[in-house]
Structure 1
Amino acid sequence: MKIYEFEGFPNPARIRIALAEKNLTDQVEFVSINVPKGEHQTPEFRAKNPSAAVPLLELEDGTCISECTAITEYLDHMNGDPTLTGKTPKERAKIHMMQRRAEAGLLDAVGTYFHHATPGLGKEIEVYQCSEWGQYQKDVAIKGMRYFDTVLADQDYIAGDKFSMADITAFAGLGFADFAQIAIPEDCANLKNWRARVASRPSLAA
């Protein structure tokens, strides 16, 4: 398998964490796509992923799978023992629900702020910016942090009592927030404690 990525970006980091959790890292060849230099916009890469986004999983038969959730689903079911996406219908539904909330209310919100209200990746990449929209999404991200703080007051992980892809997404969102200089509110002790605890997992510590 090949993973096309740009190391250090939050979404490729999500897949690296999932691979480490599943002990699959040594089964993957990582192919660097230099997004700041526009390599994701080449016809060759767009033929693999029309959305021109990383990460992208390419299987041995040439099948290409984009979107972190879809890639994680595939990896999680490779050995028939899913641990990141849930086993029962209820677990799967809750994980996917919370994963989407972590994506829309935290990771994507931070990304929108970064790409619209800051210089982002530079003028050659950021061809359109709306500062007002970016600033609004910063508030969405902070609201998302407060939401997850309340969730974590009653359970150990984002989607319940087990570490899942929802935790991976939320963790990546907070890392992106650090980079974009959006601080976790001081009174979000539950979220801070969760972050410190999951950061000690081997897949994240690496």
Structure 2
Amino acid sequence: MKLYQSVGPNPRVVLFYLSEKGLKIDRAFVDIRAGENRQGEWLKKHPRGGIPVLELDDGSLISEATVICDYLDERFPENPLVGTTPEARAAVRSAIRHIDYSIGSPMMNGFRSAEGLPMFENRMLCVPEAAPGNKAYAQDGMRQADALLARQPFVAGDSFSLADISLFCWVEFGAMVGQPIPEDAAHLKAWRDKIAVMPSAIASADPKHGLAD
């Protein structure tokens, strides 16, 4: 199989996951800044231009970062990061769903319609007047995560999981695009600092880590 990846929070989720699982998969870098994912050959793999994509040995394709990780966790069950029981898997998937709609989606839309507008305005619908509202939604989502982490050590409960990887990658992305953790979110900050020193978190910061020149 082969992973097509790039910069950004979603590709980083998969890189963090692979490192933490100890999985070695062939990888190729797609330059989204140059618009490579919006060109003909790539659109044959993902009609919406999305990254990352996992291409299986039979040529079939799996897109969406958490879906790719979910698939790999079933395919390679050692050191599971999506839970070991139906209840645990439900908790992890529920947490990721909440992260996606309360933090990830508004944060990305806020960026695309503001700081990222020159890059995205000719590629997809951008609504500059909605950017402040989207950023406010993402800040509120991070405060919700802060309240959760005041009660438990990890996003989905007592154990590190794919939900922590997902939230961490969005928090790190936010810090790079002018949407940092709110000043009053002390629990989220402490959690972030704990995750940031993990070797897999450090390795995933460089999307070309381990790739041949």
Give the match for residue 176 of structure 1: 173
CA deviation vs aligned residue, 1:166-203 (integer Å, no higher than 9, x gap): 11111111111111111212221100000011112221
Output the TM-score relative to the length of structure 1.
0.92
Shift of 1:78: 2.4
Within 2, Cα distance between the matches of 1:83 and 1:121?
A: 40
Give the match for residue 3 of structure 1: 3
Within 1, Cα distance between the matches of 2:172 and 2:72?
A: 23
CA deviation vs aligned residue, 1:23-76 (integer Å, no higher than 9, x gap): 01xx31221111122211222211211221100001111111001121001121
Within 2, Cα distance between the matches of 1:125 and 1:20?
A: 34
Give the match for residue 100 of structure 1: 97
Q: Say yes or no: does 1:12 pair with 2:44.
A: no
The residue type paired with residue 70 of structure 1 is V
* Dislocated runs of 4+, deviation >3 Å: 123-128
The residue type paired with residue 23 of structure 1 is G
Within 1, Cα distance between the matches of 2:55 and 2:120?
A: 30
Within 2, Cα distance between the matches of 1:20 and 1:123?
A: 30
Shift of 1:12: 0.7
**Structure 1 residues 58 and 121, CA, compared in 2 at 3 Å: closer, same or farther?**
farther
Match of 2:164 among 164, 167, 170: 167
Q: Percent identity between the aligned chains?
A: 35
**Structure 1 residues 184 and 153, CA, compared in 2 at 3 Å: closer, same or farther?**
same
Give the match for residue 191 of structure 2: 194
**Structure 1 residues 120 and 168, CA, compared in 2 at 3 Å: closer, same or farther?**
farther
Shift of 1:123: 5.8
Give the match for residue 64 of structure 1: 61
Trace 1:30-179 onto structure 2 (pairs within 5 A).
30-81=27-78, 83-120=80-117, 122=119, 125-179=122-176
Is the contact made by 2:12 and 2:169 (CA closer than 8 Å) also made in structure 1? yes
Question: How many aligned residue pairs are there?
Answer: 203
Within 1, Cα distance between the matches of 2:177 and 2:31?
A: 20
Within 1, Cα distance between the matches of 2:111 and 2:123?
A: 10
